[in-house]
Structure 1
Amino acid sequence: MEIKFERATIDDTEILINIRNQCFYADFINYGECPGYNISKEDMANSILSRIAYKITFNNHVIGNISITDNQDGTYYLGCLCVIPDYENKGIGQKAIRFIESEFPNASLWTLQTPADKERNHYFYKKMGYSIVKECVGGSVKLVIFEKKVNR
Protein backbone atom coordinates (compact mmCIF):
# COMPACT_ATOMS: atom_id res chain seq x y z
CA MET A 1 0.00 0.00 0.00
CA GLU A 2 1.64 3.22 -1.15
CA ILE A 3 0.48 6.14 0.97
CA LYS A 4 1.69 9.66 0.16
CA PHE A 5 1.27 12.97 1.89
CA GLU A 6 1.23 15.98 -0.42
CA ARG A 7 0.63 19.66 0.28
CA ALA A 8 -2.87 20.58 -0.74
CA THR A 9 -3.42 23.44 -3.16
CA ILE A 10 -6.41 25.56 -4.02
CA ASP A 11 -7.07 23.10 -6.87
CA ASP A 12 -7.82 20.44 -4.22
CA THR A 13 -10.71 22.41 -2.67
CA GLU A 14 -13.59 20.34 -4.04
CA ILE A 15 -11.96 16.93 -3.55
CA LEU A 16 -11.10 17.79 0.07
CA ILE A 17 -14.69 18.90 0.73
CA ASN A 18 -15.82 15.55 -0.67
CA ILE A 19 -13.30 13.66 1.48
CA ARG A 20 -14.34 15.48 4.65
CA ASN A 21 -18.03 14.94 3.87
CA GLN A 22 -17.40 11.19 3.64
CA CYS A 23 -15.34 11.23 6.83
CA PHE A 24 -17.64 13.38 8.96
CA TYR A 25 -21.15 12.50 7.75
CA ALA A 26 -21.68 10.03 10.61
CA ASP A 27 -20.61 12.69 13.15
CA PHE A 28 -22.99 15.20 11.58
CA ILE A 29 -25.86 12.71 11.85
CA ASN A 30 -24.88 11.68 15.40
CA TYR A 31 -24.36 15.17 16.84
CA GLY A 32 -26.51 17.29 14.53
CA GLU A 33 -23.44 19.40 13.80
CA CYS A 34 -19.84 18.90 12.75
CA PRO A 35 -17.38 21.63 11.79
CA GLY A 36 -15.63 19.28 9.34
CA TYR A 37 -18.81 18.44 7.43
CA ASN A 38 -20.28 20.36 4.48
CA ILE A 39 -17.64 23.08 4.42
CA SER A 40 -18.21 25.79 1.83
CA LYS A 41 -15.76 26.13 -1.08
CA GLU A 42 -14.71 29.52 0.27
CA ASP A 43 -14.02 28.18 3.77
CA MET A 44 -12.07 25.19 2.43
CA ALA A 45 -10.04 27.43 0.13
CA ASN A 46 -9.28 29.75 3.05
CA SER A 47 -8.26 26.75 5.17
CA ILE A 48 -5.87 25.52 2.48
CA LEU A 49 -4.35 28.99 2.13
CA SER A 50 -4.11 29.91 5.82
CA ARG A 51 -3.16 26.59 7.37
CA ILE A 52 -0.81 23.76 6.55
CA ALA A 53 -2.97 21.37 4.56
CA TYR A 54 -2.11 17.96 3.16
CA LYS A 55 -3.98 15.47 1.10
CA ILE A 56 -3.42 11.80 1.79
CA THR A 57 -3.22 9.71 -1.36
CA PHE A 58 -3.27 6.01 -2.08
CA ASN A 59 -2.36 4.99 -5.65
CA ASN A 60 -2.92 8.60 -6.74
CA HIS A 61 -6.46 8.71 -5.27
CA VAL A 62 -7.11 11.21 -2.49
CA ILE A 63 -8.36 9.31 0.56
CA GLY A 64 -7.77 11.73 3.42
CA ASN A 65 -6.92 15.18 4.70
CA ILE A 66 -4.69 16.75 7.33
CA SER A 67 -4.98 20.36 8.48
CA ILE A 68 -2.49 21.92 10.88
CA THR A 69 -2.20 25.35 12.45
CA ASP A 70 1.31 26.56 13.26
CA ASN A 71 0.98 28.76 16.34
CA GLN A 72 4.41 30.29 15.57
CA ASP A 73 5.74 29.38 19.02
CA GLY A 74 6.76 25.75 18.57
CA THR A 75 3.22 24.53 19.20
CA TYR A 76 0.91 23.09 16.57
CA TYR A 77 -2.81 22.39 16.46
CA LEU A 78 -3.97 19.34 14.50
CA GLY A 79 -7.33 20.61 13.30
CA CYS A 80 -8.14 17.68 11.04
CA LEU A 81 -6.83 14.21 10.41
CA CYS A 82 -9.33 12.16 8.49
CA VAL A 83 -9.32 9.12 6.24
CA ILE A 84 -12.41 8.01 4.32
CA PRO A 85 -14.12 5.05 6.00
CA ASP A 86 -13.13 2.49 3.33
CA TYR A 87 -9.46 3.09 4.25
CA GLU A 88 -9.74 3.14 8.04
CA ASN A 89 -7.95 0.55 10.18
CA LYS A 90 -5.10 0.13 7.70
CA GLY A 91 -2.43 2.06 9.63
CA ILE A 92 -2.84 5.24 7.56
CA GLY A 93 -3.59 7.41 10.58
CA GLN A 94 -0.45 6.19 12.32
CA LYS A 95 1.60 6.97 9.21
CA ALA A 96 -0.02 10.42 9.07
CA ILE A 97 0.90 11.22 12.69
CA ARG A 98 4.48 10.03 12.16
CA PHE A 99 4.65 12.08 8.94
CA ILE A 100 3.50 15.36 10.48
CA GLU A 101 5.71 14.92 13.51
CA SER A 102 8.71 14.35 11.24
CA GLU A 103 7.77 17.35 9.08
CA PHE A 104 7.79 19.65 12.11
CA PRO A 105 10.78 18.53 14.19
CA ASN A 106 10.81 21.89 16.00
CA ALA A 107 7.41 21.17 17.57
CA SER A 108 7.38 21.16 21.35
CA LEU A 109 3.64 20.54 21.70
CA TRP A 110 0.82 19.15 19.54
CA THR A 111 -2.82 19.69 20.48
CA LEU A 112 -6.11 18.49 19.02
CA GLN A 113 -9.71 18.00 20.01
CA THR A 114 -12.21 15.24 19.38
CA PRO A 115 -15.68 14.39 20.70
CA ALA A 116 -15.62 13.04 24.25
CA ASP A 117 -17.58 9.93 23.29
CA LYS A 118 -15.42 8.89 20.29
CA GLU A 119 -13.60 6.04 22.00
CA ARG A 120 -11.91 4.85 18.79
CA ASN A 121 -10.34 8.28 18.37
CA HIS A 122 -9.24 8.28 22.01
CA TYR A 123 -7.64 4.85 21.63
CA PHE A 124 -5.83 5.95 18.47
CA TYR A 125 -4.46 9.21 19.85
CA LYS A 126 -3.40 7.62 23.14
CA LYS A 127 -1.58 4.91 21.16
CA MET A 128 0.25 7.70 19.31
CA GLY A 129 1.41 9.29 22.59
CA TYR A 130 -1.30 11.90 23.15
CA SER A 131 -3.01 12.46 26.51
CA ILE A 132 -6.33 14.04 27.41
CA VAL A 133 -5.70 17.29 29.29
CA LYS A 134 -9.18 18.77 29.59
CA GLU A 135 -12.79 18.72 28.48
CA CYS A 136 -14.82 21.51 26.91
CA VAL A 137 -17.95 22.05 24.85
CA GLY A 138 -17.95 23.03 21.17
CA GLY A 139 -21.45 23.98 20.06
CA SER A 140 -23.56 21.27 21.66
CA VAL A 141 -20.83 18.60 21.57
CA LYS A 142 -18.70 17.65 24.59
CA LEU A 143 -15.07 17.56 23.48
CA VAL A 144 -11.76 16.42 24.91
CA ILE A 145 -8.47 18.21 24.31
CA PHE A 146 -5.46 16.01 23.66
CA GLU A 147 -1.83 17.10 23.95
CA LYS A 148 1.47 15.52 23.07
CA LYS A 149 4.57 17.13 24.50
CA VAL A 150 7.67 16.55 22.43
CA ASN A 151 11.05 16.54 24.13
CA ARG A 152 13.73 17.45 21.64
Structure 2
Amino acid sequence: MMDSNADTTGPSQGRTPLGAIGVIVALVLLIPMVLFYSIAPDEPLKESVTIFSDGRQRAYLADPGRYEGAGYQDYCVLEPRDQLTIVQPPQRPDGSLLARVERTEPAEIPFCPSQATVFIRPQQVVQKESPWQEIKARLARLFAP
Protein backbone atom coordinates (compact mmCIF):
# COMPACT_ATOMS: atom_id res chain seq x y z
CA MET A 1 0.00 0.00 0.00
CA MET A 2 1.14 3.50 -0.69
CA ASP A 3 1.66 6.02 2.02
CA SER A 4 -0.43 9.14 1.36
CA ASN A 5 2.20 11.26 3.12
CA ALA A 6 4.98 10.14 0.78
CA ASP A 7 7.10 12.77 -0.97
CA THR A 8 5.40 13.50 -4.30
CA THR A 9 8.06 15.58 -5.93
CA GLY A 10 7.31 15.18 -9.59
CA PRO A 11 8.56 16.88 -12.68
CA SER A 12 5.93 19.61 -12.39
CA GLN A 13 7.17 20.78 -9.00
CA GLY A 14 10.83 20.89 -9.93
CA ARG A 15 10.50 23.06 -13.09
CA THR A 16 11.52 26.66 -13.23
CA PRO A 17 9.07 29.16 -14.70
CA LEU A 18 10.95 29.53 -18.01
CA GLY A 19 7.88 30.77 -19.88
CA ALA A 20 7.33 33.66 -17.49
CA ILE A 21 11.03 34.52 -17.49
CA GLY A 22 11.04 34.49 -21.30
CA VAL A 23 8.10 36.89 -21.46
CA ILE A 24 9.73 39.25 -18.98
CA VAL A 25 13.02 39.23 -20.90
CA ALA A 26 11.18 39.88 -24.18
CA LEU A 27 9.33 42.84 -22.65
CA VAL A 28 12.52 44.25 -21.15
CA LEU A 29 14.15 44.12 -24.59
CA LEU A 30 11.11 45.22 -26.62
CA ILE A 31 9.89 48.25 -24.65
CA PRO A 32 13.12 50.28 -24.96
CA MET A 33 13.29 49.50 -28.69
CA VAL A 34 9.75 50.83 -29.20
CA LEU A 35 10.49 53.94 -27.15
CA PHE A 36 13.76 54.67 -28.99
CA TYR A 37 12.06 54.10 -32.35
CA SER A 38 9.27 56.52 -31.53
CA ILE A 39 11.60 59.33 -30.35
CA ALA A 40 14.30 58.87 -32.99
CA PRO A 41 14.64 61.88 -35.31
CA ASP A 42 13.23 61.68 -38.80
CA GLU A 43 15.63 61.49 -41.70
CA PRO A 44 15.47 64.16 -44.41
CA LEU A 45 12.80 63.81 -47.07
CA LYS A 46 14.85 62.49 -49.96
CA GLU A 47 14.36 60.17 -52.91
CA SER A 48 13.40 56.53 -52.15
CA VAL A 49 12.53 57.20 -48.48
CA THR A 50 9.36 55.44 -47.32
CA ILE A 51 6.68 57.68 -45.78
CA PHE A 52 3.11 57.13 -44.58
CA SER A 53 -0.07 59.13 -45.02
CA ASP A 54 -1.02 60.95 -41.83
CA GLY A 55 -4.76 60.36 -41.87
CA ARG A 56 -7.12 60.54 -44.83
CA GLN A 57 -5.58 62.97 -47.31
CA ARG A 58 -6.30 64.30 -50.79
CA ALA A 59 -3.35 63.86 -53.12
CA TYR A 60 -3.13 65.25 -56.65
CA LEU A 61 -2.18 62.85 -59.42
CA ALA A 62 1.04 63.74 -61.24
CA ASP A 63 -0.35 62.28 -64.50
CA PRO A 64 -4.15 62.54 -64.28
CA GLY A 65 -4.60 61.55 -67.94
CA ARG A 66 -3.26 58.09 -67.18
CA TYR A 67 -6.15 57.41 -64.79
CA GLU A 68 -9.02 59.19 -66.62
CA GLY A 69 -10.23 55.89 -68.08
CA ALA A 70 -10.59 54.49 -64.57
CA GLY A 71 -12.78 57.46 -63.57
CA TYR A 72 -10.28 59.62 -61.68
CA GLN A 73 -10.26 63.39 -62.14
CA ASP A 74 -7.08 65.15 -60.99
CA TYR A 75 -6.87 63.84 -57.42
CA CYS A 76 -7.26 60.69 -55.35
CA VAL A 77 -7.63 59.97 -51.63
CA LEU A 78 -4.96 58.40 -49.44
CA GLU A 79 -6.11 56.30 -46.51
CA PRO A 80 -4.51 56.67 -43.07
CA ARG A 81 -1.13 54.89 -42.94
CA ASP A 82 -0.95 54.36 -46.73
CA GLN A 83 2.66 53.69 -47.64
CA LEU A 84 4.37 55.97 -50.17
CA THR A 85 7.88 56.14 -51.59
CA ILE A 86 9.35 59.55 -52.36
CA VAL A 87 10.16 59.93 -56.05
CA GLN A 88 11.25 63.56 -55.84
CA PRO A 89 11.93 65.52 -52.62
CA PRO A 90 10.18 68.84 -51.93
CA GLN A 91 11.75 71.17 -54.52
CA ARG A 92 8.61 72.86 -55.81
CA PRO A 93 7.65 76.42 -54.84
CA ASP A 94 4.62 75.17 -52.88
CA GLY A 95 6.80 72.68 -50.96
CA SER A 96 5.02 69.58 -52.27
CA LEU A 97 6.86 66.38 -53.01
CA LEU A 98 6.31 63.67 -55.59
CA ALA A 99 5.59 60.21 -54.16
CA ARG A 100 4.52 56.81 -55.47
CA VAL A 101 1.66 54.97 -53.75
CA GLU A 102 2.76 51.52 -52.56
CA ARG A 103 -0.55 49.70 -52.31
CA THR A 104 -0.82 45.92 -52.48
CA GLU A 105 -4.56 45.56 -52.98
CA PRO A 106 -6.52 47.16 -55.83
CA ALA A 107 -8.18 50.45 -54.97
CA GLU A 108 -11.58 51.77 -55.94
CA ILE A 109 -12.39 55.37 -56.75
CA PRO A 110 -11.64 57.79 -55.01
CA PHE A 111 -8.73 55.97 -53.32
CA CYS A 112 -5.30 56.23 -54.95
CA PRO A 113 -4.45 53.37 -57.29
CA SER A 114 -1.34 51.29 -56.71
CA GLN A 115 1.87 52.73 -58.18
CA ALA A 116 0.19 56.09 -58.86
CA THR A 117 2.54 59.06 -58.62
CA VAL A 118 1.01 61.86 -56.57
CA PHE A 119 1.86 65.32 -55.27
CA ILE A 120 1.59 65.61 -51.50
CA ARG A 121 2.74 68.16 -48.93
CA PRO A 122 5.21 67.25 -46.17
CA GLN A 123 2.68 68.06 -43.43
CA GLN A 124 0.35 65.37 -44.84
CA VAL A 125 2.82 62.54 -44.20
CA VAL A 126 4.89 61.01 -41.43
CA GLN A 127 8.15 59.15 -41.87
CA LYS A 128 7.44 56.38 -39.43
CA GLU A 129 4.31 54.90 -38.06
CA SER A 130 3.73 55.59 -34.41
CA PRO A 131 3.90 52.30 -32.52
CA TRP A 132 1.32 53.59 -30.06
CA GLN A 133 -1.11 54.47 -32.87
CA GLU A 134 -0.67 50.97 -34.32
CA ILE A 135 -1.39 49.37 -30.94
CA LYS A 136 -4.41 51.63 -30.50
CA ALA A 137 -5.75 50.75 -33.98
CA ARG A 138 -5.34 47.01 -33.37
CA LEU A 139 -7.07 47.20 -30.00
CA ALA A 140 -9.92 49.20 -31.52
CA ARG A 141 -10.39 46.53 -34.22
CA LEU A 142 -10.22 43.79 -31.60
CA PHE A 143 -12.89 45.30 -29.36
CA ALA A 144 -15.08 46.80 -32.10
CA PRO A 145 -18.70 45.62 -31.99
Q: TM tier, shorter chain? A: under 0.3
Q: What is the TM-score with the length of structure 2 in the denominator? A: 0.22
Name the larger-Rg structure: 2
Q: Where is the strand percentage greater, Structure 1 or Structure 2?
A: 1
Q: What is the TM-score with the length of structure 1 in the denominator? A: 0.21
